[in-house]
Amino acid sequence: MTTTGVTAPAPKTSRKHGEVGPHYKWVALSNTTIGMLMATVNSSIVLISLPAIFRGIRLNPLVPSNVSYLLWMIMGYMVVTAVLVVSLGRIGDMFGRVRLYNLGFLVFTVGSILLSLVFTTGPAAALELILFRLIQGVGGAMIFACSTAILTDAFPQRERGMALGINAVAAVSGSFIGLIVGGLLSTTDWHLVFLVSVPVGLFGTAWAYLKLRETGIVKRSRVDWWGNVLFAVGLISVLVGITYGIQPYGTNSMGWTNPSVLTAIIGGVVLLVVFVIVETRVDEPMFRVSLFQLRGFTFGTVAALLSAIGRGGLMFMVIIWLQGIWLPLHGYSFESTPFWAAIFMLPLTAGFLIGGPTSGFLSDRLGSRLFATAGMICSAVGFGLLMFLPADFSYLPFGLLLFLVGASMGMFVAPNTAGVMNAVPADRRGVASGMLATFQNSGMTLSIGIFFSLMIAGLSSTLPSTMFAGLTAHGVSTTVAHQVANLPPVGSLFAAFLGYNPMTTLLGPSLHTLSASQAAYLSGQTFFPNLISNPFIVGMHITFAFSVVMMLVGAAASWLRGASPARPAATLVAARAEALSPPVSQA
């Protein structure tokens, strides 16, 4: 009888799989939320700071030979995180999710320190920044791969939707917080854009190492080297091809006919097909194809992919709408538009802040399928209604529609993530989290390529004639006007996105050959917005329609996940784990 009192300290005997105190889940939530916030803030803080960064390193990003630096500064971080999260999620299952997450915090912090110490100029500085951003991406991939699994391990199933909702809100709101913080800091010194993450990273790293505990199942196994190599090379090839497909090639406004782009995309797809075949034949695969036997995982992941494709690039288009047309027409200088675009998009963040935790909390009690499906449908409605706004809209309906889209996204993301993670056995949560993050991050990168291509296709059909007529009507020679009008539209889009005056950039020295009044009008705040408004809205309607289709198909996929009771029986979870476990080797 005396032994009953000795069993109380048992949780302390194992820091890896033992029990933890009742407050540990809040430690896990707060730390992973800080990690996700830091990682996503840094994914957008660079976007708003690109003009200041390129001015600081004395490099013009709109010169054709420098466009590749610009593209890699924008998309390199996303490419690395998309490629690595599955491998890292699998490694987390094998060696410990908390251990890998803690290392991710450290690697990200080191990358931030290195970025803040770049004081060279020219192409060498751009290459250094891209390299250190890739290091940041490795750390971010570790955080993305493990945070969802850590929360799923720490929280009981009846509270996971709420926890994952808060985490998802931090991830999405971080991208908008980054725009505001970057806008403020870059006006002082662009190095501060990277330095601001260092104290947060140091604190988070120390806190993670001291407080986080391994509460999930760690299952040692062999590393799937063939799978890792095939997946990494294949996905990198596809994403790099998409990245350069946006860039002009020869006389074409885009690079989709570039043999290098076609080779990269087709070759990457072939390698990914080979990867899937290999993964069905190895004993310990990195990519658990068997997880797609679970209906909740399969359709939840498909819905997440379609949601990312439908919304990722469209947010870039809305930002360009604000920066290139609406803000200049309302008195804001082109140089200040990146910061103010972030301010005027705050209703989107507010909607997500409300929709994410609320739907996560309710889905814990009512099931995830209804909320996730409704979120996708409401997003489709929001994107559809945006099609009815003119180029120079009234802000109130625009802000309300942004709020609707944000709340709808939050309504989808939290329950969908909880539904996917609840569908998988405990020892597969790391790889499942990584697979989900890979589909989402790859969808975002693919979305940017798709939406820029749709927009450029729309502009290419109407912008040249409109620009030629506008320039010649205000004193520009027919030779110069023809040359400028037939430049790839991506130049105008990137100029507006980076806060450059598009007409000053496009006309260059030719602007000085005009009279002072004509030069002032062409480079003023109304000529370019009025010039591009109609062609741009044509392109926006195409992209909005594409988003509506993606959201509706995603809603169907979300509904097809089947009924998802808030608390499935423990025996069902055990049965799923047994069904998906690989045969035990007799070697």
CATH number reported for the structural domain that contains residue 156 in this entry: 1.20.1250.20
Residues 273, 194 share a domain: no
Going by C-alpha positions, the residue among 573, 294, 305, 293 that lies closest to residue 439 is 305
CA-based R_g, the chain, Å? 25
Residues 165, 32 share a domain: yes
Question: Is residue 123 in a domain?
Answer: yes
Residues 194, 237 share a domain: no
Residues 257, 204 share a domain: no
Residues 146, 92 share a domain: yes
Segments of the chain scoring below 70 in pLDDT: 1-21, 64, 216-221, 223-224, 286, 427, 430, 562-587
Cβ atoms of 345 and 322 within 8 Å: the answer is: yes
Query: In residues, how long is the chain?
Result: 587
Going by C-alpha positions, the residue among 538, 584, 568, 579 that lies closest to residue 158 is 568
Question: Which amino acid, 205?
Answer: T
Going by C-alpha positions, the residue among 518, 475, 534, 524 that lies closest to residue 504 is 524
For 318, the token pair is 């809305």
Sequence-distant (≥ 6) Cβ neighbours of residue 5 within 8 angstroms: none
Residues 236, 109 share a domain: no
Question: Is residue 455 in a domain?
Answer: no
For 527, the token pair is 């000529």
- The pLDDT of residue 111: 93
The number of folded domains in the chain is 3
Question: Is residue 561 in a domain?
Answer: no
DSSP annotation of 294:
S
Residues 152, 47 share a domain: yes
Question: Is residue 401 in a domain?
Answer: no
Phi, psi of 486 (to 5 degrees): -100, 10
Question: Is residue 210 in a domain?
Answer: yes
Q: How far apart are CA 309 and CA 301, in angstroms?
A: 12
Residues 87, 100 share a domain: yes
Going by C-alpha positions, the residue among 98, 105, 90 that lies closest to residue 24 is 98
Residues 204, 152 share a domain: yes
Q: How far apart are CA 528 and CA 324, in angstroms?
A: 8
Domain coverage including residue 175: 17-222
Q: Is 117 helix (H, G, I), strand (E, B) or coil?
A: coil
- The pLDDT of residue 531: 83
Cβ atoms of 453 and 245 within 8 Å: the answer is: yes
Q: Is 249 helix (H, G, I), strand (E, B) or coil?
A: strand
Q: How far apart are CA 480 and CA 25, in angstroms?
A: 64
For residue 222, give Cα distances in angstroms to 11, 94, 284. 29, 9, 6
Q: Is 449 helix (H, G, I), strand (E, B) or coil?
A: helix
Looking at 222, 247, 273, the residue that finishes a domain is 222
Residues 152, 23 share a domain: yes
Question: Is residue 335 in a domain?
Answer: no
Going by C-alpha positions, the residue among 34, 48, 15 that lies closest to residue 319 is 48
pTM for this one? Answer: 0.77
Buried b (16+ CB within 10 A) or exposed e, 535-571: bbbbbbebbbebbbebbbbbbbbbbbbeebebeeeee
Cβ atoms of 383 and 447 within 8 Å: the answer is: no
Q: How far apart are CA 443 and CA 467, in angstroms?
A: 33
Residues 89, 24 share a domain: yes
- The pLDDT of residue 580: 45
- Helix intervals (H) in 322-428: 327-329, 337-344, 346-366, 368-386, 395-422
Residues 205, 57 share a domain: yes
Q: Is 405 helix (H, G, I), strand (E, B) or coil?
A: helix
Question: Is residue 570 in a domain?
Answer: no
